Each structure stands twice: as structure tokens, then as C-alpha cells.
Structure 1
């Protein structure tokens, strides 16, 4: 059986790869749990000064596993919530660079937004399809996305579910730069090594200062999002129809 998460640590930099390419790295329970465990383990390792998070081609992460969601509904959502891999990325003490190689949709976009900053390959695309699927965001989307792109673009992306390509993502501030797909991971690792060439305690302290300022302005909003998402009961009868519509739309847009 293929490991759902791959970890390669070199010279203080850990490359973490979501490895379920046949499902566009959608969050199966194994992937969600293994990702959470790997991130916690690496965050506790003082020898790891920087994380680089990416996906096995062709996608970064398609978000929730819509097949599992349609089949197991509340049970699947509860298990993913317990795994806590979506919110966890933004709560790490270790600086984290997102190397977005392909589609980062919905929960996958929330995972990406938890990184300190994002570098995109030219095949990267981004979308928030929570509303189309029929599940409210609960991983920080409504707070982290406007923090990156402003309220106008954040609301537009969430309300329309439209796909944003790498070029537009750079123009609106979602990613810091766009590089050729083939160069993405190598370039992200080079950037990470430049970060890692600093005392690890200083890096964590600097990140903590940035995070403290961000938390001071967003803590209440994150709590409200989590409470509303937990209280909202999806229309399970409509999920399968929504899943088929979203899959068809995504295939047409990618």
C-alpha cells in the first residue's frame, strides 16, 4: 500500500508531499490522519527549521473526499475534523512554505492558506467550492482567504466557486510568485533553505510574532466560522448530485 504522506528531511528542511494522486490528493481518512501526525511530529523536531508542503501531481489537494462524504456523511466529516489536518497547518510553530503544483480546492485551499506563504507552479489553480458542495467552510477559509486577497476577491471566490489560475492568483496576492511547473519543488526548497539558514529559535519567535498579530484580529472570526460549520447540517440527499456537478465542472475547467 502506498503511503498517503511522504516526508523527506534534508538540511533542516522537511518536504511533505500529499501522496494520493489517483484521487487528486483528496482527504481520505488515512491521508488526513497521516498528514496530521507527520506535521505534529515534524513541528516537534527542533532539527526541522522549515516545512515545504506540496502534492503529488497532478494536484495539490482537492479537499474533502466527495465520494466518502456522499457515502458516510456526518461520520466522515467528524473523522476529518478529529484528524485536524486542515486547521493544523496554520497553527504550526515551524515556518511553512506551500508549493502549489496543481489544483488546491476547498479544503485543499484551506490547507494551503495555513502556510506562511505560497509559491505556485504554472499549472496551479485555486477554488473554494464549499457552497457548491453543500458544506460550510470550517478550516479558516473565511478568515485566511480575505487576509491574502482582500474581502472582494475572497467573497467572489467563495460565492461563485470559480477557478483562479496561477497568474491571477499572483496578481491578487494569493501566491508570492509563479514558476514553471517542473521547477516548482526545487525552487520552493531553495527558498526554504534560505529560511533555514537562520537560527531555528529565532525563526519560530519571528513566526510567533506574525501569528500573534494575525490572531489578535481574527480570533473571534475563526471561532464563529468553526461554530457555524459545526452547527450546519448538510443536505445529505443533495450531496451526491452536488458531487457530480462539481466533478464535471472541475474537469471542464482544469
Structure 2
């Protein structure tokens, strides 16, 4: 099933249970304007609410992943930048796994979108940067919180204060991305992983994702308590069904 939400964003069921979202303003390096903002919110609503889709893949039409906000739209003092903040902040809370497939530049708001996903796969052509300081702005969408969690405080300082982009190899080395792939292979790999995830019990996935998400936002002791409590709830719901093909863990 293919859904054309509008010219800014295309949503396609790439495989059973997998929704592919492609930001589609290539001439503007997929910068977010109002139509794209509305299209993405509609796509995220559909993804979160429709049980048919278990996993999402977010990518951008070449040559970029996303260049952030369209400054022609959002540079005015009274521009509704808070609406983009709300969009970016909702990504980690969609309740289902979503993978960022980055093939090209992921700058500023685009980097924040990728950071909001569960993990990032990058091609050799990927570049990452935070340019808030360069344009005289301060992020309200999680850059100062999520980037240090991903790469550590020292490297986050380097990226945020210098505004210099890093290449894909550096992103892999500092832990920003999970895998580095040749050009043209990042999206197939993302869809391959998404298909593997979609084959599992969606409720169990939701619970496992919640353990990780909540645990990384707190102390180790609190994270262990969260894991123990979630396991208790899982057992109360009827326990876990072990596949005969699965090895003991």
C-alpha cells in the first residue's frame, strides 16, 4: 500500500509492517517548511495509530537527509518554530521503532530528527552537523540533551560549539551511527533490519524499547528497577513465548 501524503513527504509500505517515510524536497535539501511539517505530522499520526505498521524508516531524497528548518519560512522572529520543535520531540515517543537512514547531510534540525530515531544507519556520503550557533540560535528540540547521550559530552561540545560537520566515518567512531554502508546501500540495509524487527511481537518490542528509552534517561539503579518492573508486567500478561529456534540467553 502506497500513500502519497503530499509532494513534501511520501509514505510507502516498503514491506509487510514496515513504513518508509521519505522527506521529498531535494532541491531544498529536504529542509522543513510548513507543508512538510504538516505532512510529517500526518505521517507520524498514521504510523502511531495504525497497527498494520510495526516499524518505520525515515530517510530523505538525495542529495540530503534533512538540512533542518527552511530559513525562508522560519527565520522571522514570530515564525512558528515551536511547531518544528514539537514535531522533532514527538519522534522518540511514537511508541514504535523508527530507523534513520541517512544518505547525505543531516544538519541541525535534520540531525535532531535523526537523533530522535531509535538508531541511525549512514552511507559514506552522510555528513552530520549542528549549526545552531552559526545561525545565532539555540536548540529547543533536544540537541543539547540527545547529542551528548549519543557521542559523549566532549564530542558534543566540539560539534555544537564549532558547527563543523563530521563525516560518516567519524560519526561511526564516536557512536552517533550504528553502521556505515557504501553509497546506495543504506536504505536497503535499513529496510532489512526493519523487516527483521517487524517479525517480532509488537507488544514485546514496545516493552523492550520502553526499558531502553526510560533506562537511558535515568541512573543505572533506576534503569535496573525499570527493567525488573517491566519484566514483572510481561510475566503477569502471560509470560514470554520462547521460539524453539531461539537459543537460551
TM-score normalised per structure 1: 0.81
1:12–1:2: structure 2 CA closer, same or farther, 3 Å change rule? Answer: closer
For the residue of structure 1 that corresponds to 2:120, the secondary structure is strand
Q: For the aligned residues, what is the CA RMSD?
A: 1.5
Query: Partners of 2:95 and 2:51 in 1: how far apart?
Result: 11
Which of residues 12, 21, 28 in structure 1 aligns to 2:17? 12
Partners of 1:97 and 1:188 within 8 A in 2: yes
Q: Displacement of 1:80 after TM fit?
A: 3.1
Query: Partners of 2:103 and 2:26 in 1: how far apart?
Result: 12
Equivalence map 1:227-246=2 (5 Å): none
Query: Partners of 1:142 and 1:151 in 2: how far apart?
Result: 9
Query: Partners of 2:87 and 2:81 in 1: how far apart?
Result: 12
Partners of 2:101 and 2:190 within 8 A in 1: yes
Query: Partners of 2:211 and 2:52 in 1: how far apart?
Result: 21
Equivalence map 1:1-254=2 (5 Å): 3-9=7-13, 10-70=15-75, 72-81=76-85, 84-216=86-218
Partners of 1:89 and 1:114 within 8 A in 2: yes
Query: Partners of 1:44 and 1:135 in 2: how far apart?
Result: 34
Query: Partners of 1:79 and 1:201 in 2: how far apart?
Result: 30
> Whose helix fraction is larger, Structure 1's or Structure 2's?
1
Query: Partners of 2:93 and 2:135 in 1: how far apart?
Result: 26
TM-score normalised per structure 2: 0.82
Q: Displacement of 1:55 after TM fit?
A: 0.3
How many residue pairs get aligned? The number is: 214
Q: Which has the higher contact order (CA 8 A, sep 6+)?
A: 1
Pick the structure with greater CA Rg.
2
For the residue of structure 2 that corresponds to 1:188, the secondary structure is helix
For the residue of structure 2 that corresponds to 1:182, the secondary structure is coil
User: Gapped runs of 5+ residues in structure 2?
Assistant: 220-249
Query: Partners of 2:16 and 2:83 in 1: how far apart?
Result: 34
Partners of 1:60 and 1:101 within 8 A in 2: yes
Q: Displacement of 1:150 after TM fit?
A: 0.4
User: Gapped runs of 5+ residues in structure 1?
Assistant: 218-254
